């Protein structure tokens, strides 16, 4: 195997492939967990580097004021990277402006937002929270009504009558006007109401999952975010992004400049502490290590695999693949569905090839898309087999014995293990022939 490619996890199919490709530095895939990524600010002011001399001071202060206080008894040192980002987030919320927490599903955005909100609430700030879901996105003003549902009528009493009526109608405290909602009155009402609340105490708006905020709410919230005093009204906005990606929706919902934080994955000791702290019998060391590798430091993935191990009634054999829960399979499948077909094809290859070298992946991507990593067109007359010239030792995928997963080898296991099924399903969608008919039968169960 290529020295740059770490041992592949047999778990999570394409999720493992994503990690493999990323760790190998396959930037052409535009996927990955960039542990060195620095936070950006939308206002353009540079954020101090982690190696900034002030960092030592931050570390000292972190010990008593970390937003992860309740979790840090035995993992204070290991949590350093997350603490660092969250310390900066706290500083931002204590001053002017907002924080965007982004990253893949399960990386800990809600968890971090909760910790930040708890810390602000402890300091006497009013916290308003909405957590929209995909299913609610078609409901106009759903996120706005959810955010302001705890604001009582007394706080709206000073608003001019048309504004009050518009906001009370959105909150369904009175019927919608027969002529339809006055949307300008609504914007002014939300601006006025939040401004008045902020005069009494600083206000924190938490919008957990910007990508699911319905459009009418987005428009109102962006209108007020541009006008509210960022020293009095702050926002913590989360958004699902793929590793290496930037948030698309959250910055517009932020007051003042937004500190954008791509939450880094948990470290190995953090995952070990997370698993050990579940109040379940401890997993053997080798299994903890495998869960860490399979999860790639995603706490939701790690917890779900551990849950599947519990349901299984005990640790799997060392040679066995790790079990998965349905929730995890669906989460992985959902992420795969959002990738373009060429990327999915390369991930499938990375997940199933016996030797997923970087050369093999590069060459296959170029053959599949007709473009090299540099954007040049490949020679149409060039050979189309995916074995790279630079990597003569790599076997051709699809050839008997060349695939890693036993269930994908011709004429072997009748039932692919659970973790292979999302991959096999994707393989089907991508038009790659399943290796044999028995697999096809399994896919239709």
Q: Provide the binding-site residues for ligand ADP, judged by CB under 6 A.
A: 71, 105-111, 274, 299-300, 303
Please report how close the Cβ of residue 103 comes to Mg ion at its closest, in angstroms: 10
* 107 interface partner picked from ligand ADP, Mg ion, none, CB below 5 to 8 A per type: ligand ADP
Q: Quote the CA–CA distance of 309 and 325 in Å, as a whole number.
A: 9
* 368 interface partner picked from ligand ADP, Mg ion, none, CB below 5 to 8 A per type: none
DSSP code, position 240: E
Please report how close the Cβ of residue 204 comes to ligand ADP at its closest, in angstroms: 17
* 362 interface partner picked from Mg ion, ligand ADP, none, CB below 5 to 8 A per type: none
Among residues 163 and 241, whose Cβ is nearest to ligand ADP? 241
Among residues 212 and 345, whose Cβ is nearest to Mg ion? 212
Among residues 211 and 355, whose Cβ is nearest to ligand ADP? 211
Nearest to 36 by CA among 193, 244, 202: 244
Q: Could you tell me the strand order of the sheet in which 258-262 lies?
A: 40-41, 258-262, 98-103, 233-240, 203-208, 126-130
Gap between the terminal Cα atoms of the chain: 35
* 32 interface partner picked from ligand ADP, Mg ion, none, CB below 5 to 8 A per type: none
Please report how close the Cβ of residue 5 comes to ligand ADP at its closest, in angstroms: 27
Q: Are 125 and 117 in contact (CB under 8 A)?
A: no
Please report how close the Cβ of residue 285 comes to ligand ADP at its closest, in angstroms: 20
Q: What is the largest CA-CA distance in the chain?
A: 77
Please report how close the Cβ of residue 338 comes to ligand ADP at its closest, in angstroms: 15
Among residues 156 and 207, whose Cβ is nearest to Mg ion? 207
Nearest to 328 by CA among 278, 273, 291: 291
* 108 interface partner picked from ligand ADP, Mg ion, none, CB below 5 to 8 A per type: ligand ADP
Among residues 111 and 345, whose Cβ is nearest to Mg ion? 111
Please report how close the Cβ of residue 98 comes to Mg ion at its closest, in angstroms: 17
Q: Quote the CA–CA distance of 414 and 423 in Å, as a whole number.
A: 16
* 55 interface partner picked from ligand ADP, Mg ion, none, CB below 5 to 8 A per type: none
* Token pair listed for 188: 């002014």
* 111 interface partner picked from Mg ion, ligand ADP, none, CB below 5 to 8 A per type: ligand ADP
- Residues 6 or more apart whose CB falls under 8 angstroms from that of 87 comprise 58, 61, 62, 65, 66, 67
CB atoms within 10 A of CB 327: 13
Q: Quote the CA–CA distance of 356 and 339 in Å, as a whole number.
A: 19
**Residue number of the CB atom closest to Mg ion:** 110
Please report how close the Cβ of residue 228 comes to ligand ADP at its closest, in angstroms: 25
Q: Is 86 exposed, middle or buried (0-12, 13-18, 19+ CB in 10 A)?
A: buried
The binding site for Mg ion (CB under 5 A) comprises 109-110
Among residues 303 and 423, whose Cβ is nearest to ligand ADP? 303
Q: Is 202 exposed, middle or buried (0-12, 13-18, 19+ CB in 10 A)?
A: buried
CB atoms within 10 A of CB 106: 21
**Residue number of the CB atom closest to ligand ADP:** 108
Please report how close the Cβ of residue 13 comes to ligand ADP at its closest, in angstroms: 20
Please report how close the Cβ of residue 110 comes to Mg ion at its closest, in angstroms: 3
Q: Are 260 and 100 in contact (CB under 8 A)?
A: yes
Among residues 103 and 356, whose Cβ is nearest to Mg ion? 103
Q: Quote the CA–CA distance of 174 and 444 in Å, as a whole number.
A: 50
Among residues 129 and 171, whose Cβ is nearest to ligand ADP? 129
**Angle, CA of 50, 52 and 58, to the nearest 5°:** 75
Place of tokens 């189309």: 384
* 59 interface partner picked from Mg ion, ligand ADP, none, CB below 5 to 8 A per type: none
Among residues 111 and 292, whose Cβ is nearest to Mg ion? 111
* Token pair listed for 288: 């903890």
* 274 interface partner picked from ligand ADP, Mg ion, none, CB below 5 to 8 A per type: ligand ADP
């Amino acid at each position: 195997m290529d020295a740059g490619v770490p041992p592949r996890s047999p778990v999570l199919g394409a999720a493992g492939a994503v990690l493999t490709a990323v760790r190998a530095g396959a930037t052409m895939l535009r996927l990955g967990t960039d542990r060195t990524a620095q936070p950006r600010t939308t206002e353009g002011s540079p954020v101090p580097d982690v190696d900034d001399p002030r960092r030592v001071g931050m570390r000292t202060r972190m010990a008593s004021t970390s937003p992860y206080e309740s979790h840090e008894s035995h993992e204070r040192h290991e949590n350093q990277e997350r603490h660092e980002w969250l310390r900066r987030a706290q500083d931002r919320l204590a001053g002017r402006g907002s924080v965007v927490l982004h990253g893949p599903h399960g990386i800990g955005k809600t968890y971090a937002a909760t910790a930040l909100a708890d810390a602000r609430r402890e300091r006497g700030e009013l916290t308003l929270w909405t957590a929209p879901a995909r299913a609610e996105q078609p409901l106009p003003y759903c996120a706005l009504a959810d955010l302001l549902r705890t604001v009582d009528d007394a706080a709206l009493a000073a608003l001019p009558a048309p504004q009050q009526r518009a906001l009370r109608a959105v909150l369904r405290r009175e019927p919608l006007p027969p002529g339809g909602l006055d949307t300008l009155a609504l914007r002014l009402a939300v601006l006025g109401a939040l401004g008045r609340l902020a005069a009494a105490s600083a206000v924190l708006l938490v919008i957990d999952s910007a990508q699911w905020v319905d459009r009418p709410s987005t428009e109102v919230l962006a209108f007020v975010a541009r006008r509210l005093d960022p020293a009095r009204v702050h926002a913590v906005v989360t958004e699902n992004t793929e590793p290496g990606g930037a948030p698309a929706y959250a910055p517009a919902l932020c007051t003042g400049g937004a500190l954008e934080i791509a939450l880094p994955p948990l470290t190995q000791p953090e995952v070990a502490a997370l698993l050990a702290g579940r109040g379940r019998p401890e997993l053997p060391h080798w299994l903890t290590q495998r869960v860490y590798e399979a999860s790639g430091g995603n706490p939701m993935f790690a917890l779900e695999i551990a849950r599947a191990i519990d349901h299984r009634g005990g640790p799997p054999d060392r040679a066995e693949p790790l079990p998965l829960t349905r929730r995890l399979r669906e989460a992985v499948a959902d992420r795969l569905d959002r990738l373009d077909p060429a990327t999915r094809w390369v991930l499938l290859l990375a997940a199933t090839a016996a030797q997923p070298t970087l050369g093999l992946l590069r060459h296959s991507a170029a053959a599949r898309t007709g473009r090299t990593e540099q954007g040049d067109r490949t020679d149409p007359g060039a050979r189309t087999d995916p074995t790279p010239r630079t990597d003569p030792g790599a076997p051709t995928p699809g050839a008997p014995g060349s695939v890693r997963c036993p269930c994908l080898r011709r004429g072997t296991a009748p039932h692919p293990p659970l973790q292979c099924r999302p991959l096999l399903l994707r393989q089907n969608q991508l038009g790659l022939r399943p290796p044999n008919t028995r697999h096809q039968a399994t896919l239709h169960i």
